[in-house]
Structure 1
Amino acid sequence: MEKDPHFREKLHNTDMEDIKQGKLAKELDFVSHHVRTKLDELKRQEVNRLRTLIKVKQDMNGEKVDHKALLKQFEHLNHMNPYTFEVEDLDRLIKSATNDLENFDKERHEDFKRYEMTKEHERKEHLKTLDEEARQKEEEHYEEMKKKHADHPKINHPGSQDQLKEVWEEADGLDPNEFDPKTFFNLHDTNGDGYFDEQELEALFTKELEKVYDPTHEEDDMMEMEEERLRMREHVMNEVDTNRDRLVSRDEFITATNRKEFLEPDGWEVMLFIFLLLGHQSEHSERKFLTAQEK
């Protein structure tokens, strides 16, 4: 739909709350005939896909079909009219996508927590298979890895002047004394649409993450590195994305660079995930987790 000039302009100029309330969906009536025809085709394909999925579920031997759960997969469109894409379909899609985006970070946190807990559980189970001497050596090695991972250069606060200047100097090859926020934005707005999306923001943190994580080092977990990248992005979005559309506009970025927090940021500590997370786990929580793993 963004290929339609009218809709693209409305999308970029509409407040997120208005989008959630369905006001943007009404603009569907003004998009070009070519775009509407393509949307009709895509809706028919999606309805056929979902119907096929339900039929396969029904045909599977010995499986009880949860019809309510299956029909929920149609909630993002009006399947009672399977032939044309209408305003109601766009409204449903927007609300479904908005809900998914709002829950994305929360679900990611939970997924990563499960990953870390599983990793620690497997480590402890491995220790049980060792004799006393080998277990002692393994624990000493583990403590050594923790210390090595914690020993890294200072991490600049994500989105601060110091952090962006480092990108400007080391990645862009420019003089840090000539740092200019507008030029920086244009350089890193890689698709030239006037916004930093989540991927463009996350790319800005690579230099900081390389100070802590090295794929050739045993103590550095690349899964943790990517979680830290997303944590940095989430932090900057919360600070800079004032209209909560999950995009940082040029104006939002320039406004942020004039704040005291940009010029004089607080410190930033990369989370030592597994040690912070598991260090606060109660015995009850651990038993609950182990029971879930067994199931």
Structure 2
Amino acid sequence: MVRGNSLVHCGLILLSLWLCIQSVPINVDRSKEKPPVQELEPPQSAETGLHYDRYLREVIEFLEKDPHFKEKLKNANMDDIKQGKLAKELNFVQHNFRTKLDELKREEMNRLRMLIKVKHDIQGGSGRTVDHQSLLKQFEHLSHQNPNTFEVEDLDQLIQSATKDLENFDKDRHDEFKNYELTKEHERRERLKTMSEETRQQEEKHYEQLRKKHADHAKVNHPGSETQLKEVWQESDGMDPDNFDPKTFFKMHDTNGDSFFDESELEALFTKELEKVYNPENEEDDMVEMEEERLRMREHVMNEVSRTHRQI
């Protein structure tokens, strides 16, 4: 069981919207039930990096509290979520949760109005032509036709926007890393030009030695594989490798006891693999490269979970 967040990691919030639901469905007799009033609290899920991050996470966390939506989300596949089928289940969410979602939307509308006013004033005050299309893009994650109520269209637009924006967000991070690598190599070559022939040869020899040293490390397991988990079970947990039990492993590594693998718990497993390859004290190991590998691992696990769920 994995509670994924994306982004940042991850890292998509769309996957977390689906992955976080693993509890047993609850039968609810709405005619007798008076649901308790839910207090608005700071969202607990990991930040996404999007400008509407808090709104996105608060909406998801309130929807997770509704028994009907929780059950539908548990049984939904990614295609249903992306195509808007899940959003229609908002019509069956309890009234007190709908009221809180309305409140969240009104707060988000007010925040965006203030944000756009500030950006409009800055652009106008600088003498530049105000880019109205760019400003309106700030509203793409919600339906502004009904500014006071959270409707099916709002949930659908939120899902579609988060999916698109976070995919682009991860792509941007990968592009940043590529630029980092290119810049690093360019700077290395420029330094070589300033050296004498003898010094340059020594530097090239040292560079090759560092590359070989970095490549000489313990075998890295496939992220999220049984082999990786068994290695943690044996080497970190000190358990008998012949008695590996997935349920016991999960309980041991569900450090906060919430019956989910959250981002920090999942990344703790990634870190054990990354530590085989990267050490901040070693000259040959690049910590920026390590973070890129962490992102790739997270994406791989999320994609594997999504693929497996589609097959089911």
Corresponding residue for residue 69 of structure 1: 134
Q: Deviations over 1:13-70 (max 9, x none)?
A: 2122111121221222222333222222221222222222222222221333221121
Contact kept? 1:149, 1:212, Cα under 8 Å: yes
Shift, 1:179, TM fit: 0.5
TM-score (norm 2): 0.69
Secondary structure at 2:230's aligned position in 1? helix
Q: Output the amino acid matched with 1:30.
A: F
Partner of 1:144: 209
3-state SS, counterpart of residue 241 of structure 1: helix
1:32 matched to 2:94: yes
Q: Compare 231-240 and 210-219 and name the one that shifted more.
A: 231-240
Decide whether the 8 Å contact of 1:112 with 1:227 is kept in 2. Answer: yes
What is the match of residue 179 of structure 2? 114
Q: Distance in 2 between matches of 1:132 and 1:197?
A: 53
Alignment equivalent of 2:161, drawn from 80, 83, 96: 96
Report the alpha carbon displacement of residue 140 of structure 1 after superposing the two structures with TM: 2.6
Who is 2:288 aligned against? Answer: 223
What is the aligned partner in structure 2 of residue 207 from structure 1? Answer: 272
Partner of residue 85 from structure 1, selected from 150, 160, 180: 150
Deviations 1:85-120 (A, max 9, x none): 111111110111222344454443222212211222
Cα displacement (A) at 1:4: 2.2
* Residue 179, structure 1, aligned to residue 244, structure 2: yes
How many pairs align? 247
Q: 1:135 aligns with which of 177, 200, 209?
A: 200
| More moved, 100-109 vs 179-188 | 100-109
Asked if structure 1 preserves the Cα contact closer than 8 Å seen for 2:78 and 2:306, the reply is: no
Q: Write the deviation string for residues 153-205 of structure 1: whole angstroms up to 9, x where unpaired.
A: 22223333332111111222211111122322343345666655665443322
Corresponding residue for residue 298 of structure 2: 233
Report the CA distance between 1:237 and its aligned residue: 3.7
Name the aligned partner's letter for residue 156 of structure 2. D
Is the partner of 2:178 in helix, strand or coil?
helix
Between the aligned partners of 1:128 and 1:80, the Cα distance in structure 2 is: 61
Scaled by the length of structure 1, what TM-score is found? 0.73
Return 5+ residue gaps in structure 1 as ranges: 246-250, 253-295
RMSD: 2.7
- The match for 1:48 among 85, 89, 110 is 110
CA distance in 2, matches of 1:236, 1:2: 22
| 1:196-250 Cα shifts (integer Å, max 9, x gaps) | 56654433222221111111111111121122223233334444433568xxxxx
The 10-residue stretch of structure 1 (145-154 or 95-104) with the greater mean CA deviation from structure 2: 95-104
Q: 1:216 to 1:27 in 2, by over 3 A?
A: same
- List aligned pairs for 1:225-264, cutoff 5 A: 225-242=290-307
Counterparts of 1:148 and 1:200 in 2: how far apart (Å)?
Answer: 30
8 Å CA contact 2:102, 2:149 repeated in 1 = yes
Counterpart Cα distance in 2 of 1:191 and 1:244: 25
Q: For the residues of structure 2 that align with 1:197 and 1:100, how far apart are their CA atoms? A: 22
For 2:140 and 2:309, how far apart are their aligned partners in 1? 24
Q: Which amino acid aligns with 1:183?
A: T
Secondary structure of the corresponding residue to residue 158 of structure 1: coil
Structure 1 residue 131: Cα displacement: 4.0
Most deviating of 154-163 and 192-201: 192-201
Flag structure 2 segments of 5+ consecutive residues without an equivalent. Answer: 1-62
1:159 maps onto 2:224 in alignment: yes
Aligned letter for 1:121? Answer: H
For the Cα contact (< 8 Å) 1:202–1:232, is it kept in 2? no
Greater RCO, 1 or 2 (C-alpha within 8 Å, sep 6+): 2
1:176–1:210 distance in 2 versus 1, CA, 3 Å: same
